[in-house]
Amino acid sequence: MEFPLRQGMLVAHTAAMTSPRFVQVYREDSAGLRHELAQGLLGRPATVSPKFLYDALGSRLFDAITELPEYYPTRTERAIFEAHAPAIGALAGRGRTLIDLGAGNCEKAARLFDVLAPLRYVAVDISVDYLRQALASLQRQHPAIEMIGVGADFSASLTLPPEAGRGERLLFYPGSSIGNFTPQDALQFLRQARALGGAGGALLIGIDLIKPKPVLELAYDDPLRVTAAFNLNLLRRLNALLGCDARIEDFEHVALFNEAESRIEMHLQARRALTLRWPGGERPLAAGERIHTENSYKYSVAGFEQLLRDAGFARTAHWTDERGWFAVFLAS
């Protein structure tokens, strides 16, 4: 009588450890998204949030960007993680719950599995469908790590479902994604991250550093025009989500470093005077007028250290590459 029961439990246990669970925290309804897009287009200047860059095609175009020789952040960060893995592991601690904020293809976190040995891996991303594929294949490679995929937009507020579990948390926010926030919003985000991590919590975060303008601008306006395609893909989303009539050919990708604000800006610039029309609204654009689609803030090491302090992190450590182009911070 005992045997079948035990076998059943074993099967259930094994199944739980080999297939990731998925939770959708909160999904904006299409009416909400349409409203947000219309409000942005009607603004002065017109804006579209960079979160709309990441549909299935946009996520793949971003992956292609990370392969470009001009786009240094991804490979520079990877080299820092590789060079300093033992030190990072020693400070971050093993056996934690690793919470990946903006996991994408989960590749960056997976590279740290050896040194961090997480008990549980919580992958959070706005594009939940993209997460499904990535996490399922990662789970096959690491059957012993409990994996949970969370579909959530934490650009507004950083909260996790109960499925994320307790235990000592290591928050992972690589790639300089925090650069999309204004420094003021970044501070809010860091405060929330500190609260989410709890008493024994830590944050491992990648930060793109200030560097000469030509290097920055080439990284966001590559000759192969992959970044241009990534930016222009927003127009397809406008058309799909809002029922807009934008023509890709009418717009030009513009990327510039705004030194006063210490940020790269991406814009879609109208090649001629035109009017965008959608059900319930329209937005005329003069020739050369721009839709602002992304900010990517660049920090100094001292500037970001200060931001971490202001957010309430008492201890910080950082590692950088020999050119000083990118930094990885561990804050607790």
Q: Which CB, 227 or 332, lies closer to ligand AVJ?
A: 227
Residues that bind ligand AVJ (CB under 6 A): 65, 73, 175-177, 179-180, 220, 227, 230, 294, 296
Q: Least distance to ligand AVJ from the beta carbon of 19, Å?
A: 29
Q: Least distance to ligand AVJ from the beta carbon of 65, Å?
A: 5
Q: Which CB, 55 or 294, lies closer to ligand AVJ?
A: 294
Query: What is the residue-wise DSSP string for 60-100?
Result: HHHHHHTTSTT-HHHHHHHHHHHHHHHHHHHHH-SS-EEEE
The span from the CA of 169 to the CA of 332, in Å, is: 11
Q: Least distance to ligand AVJ from the beta carbon of 176, Å?
A: 5
The span from the CA of 208 to the CA of 9, in Å, is: 48
Q: Least distance to ligand AVJ from the beta carbon of 168, Å?
A: 27
Q: Which CB, 127 or 296, lies closer to ligand AVJ?
A: 296
Q: Which CB, 126 or 274, lies closer to ligand AVJ?
A: 126
CB neighbour list of residue 255: distance below 8 Å, 6 or more residues apart:
217, 220, 221, 227, 231, 264, 265, 266, 267
Q: Which CB, 149 or 179, lies closer to ligand AVJ?
A: 179
Q: Which CB, 277 or 318, lies closer to ligand AVJ?
A: 318
The span from the CA of 330 to the CA of 101, in Å, is: 15
Q: Which CB, 76 or 97, lies closer to ligand AVJ?
A: 76
CB neighbour list of residue 303: distance below 8 Å, 6 or more residues apart:
none
Measured CA to CA in angstroms, residue 26 lies from 135, 193, 195, 229, 241 at distances of: 19, 18, 20, 29, 18
Q: Least distance to ligand AVJ from the beta carbon of 260, Å?
A: 18
Q: Least distance to ligand AVJ from the beta carbon of 299, Å?
A: 12
Q: How many helices (H) and strands (E) does the chain have?
A: 11, 14
In contact, 209 and 301? CB cutoff 8 Å? yes
Q: Least distance to ligand AVJ from the beta carbon of 21, Å?
A: 26
Q: Which H or E run includes 253?
A: strand 251-258
Cβ-closest residue to ligand AVJ? Answer: 296
Q: Least distance to ligand AVJ from the beta carbon of 179, Å?
A: 5
The span from the CA of 312 to the CA of 233, in Å, is: 38
Q: Please report the sign of the dihedral spanned by the C-alpha atoms of residue 143, residue 148, residue 151, residue 154.
A: negative
Q: Which CB, 102 or 201, lies closer to ligand AVJ?
A: 102
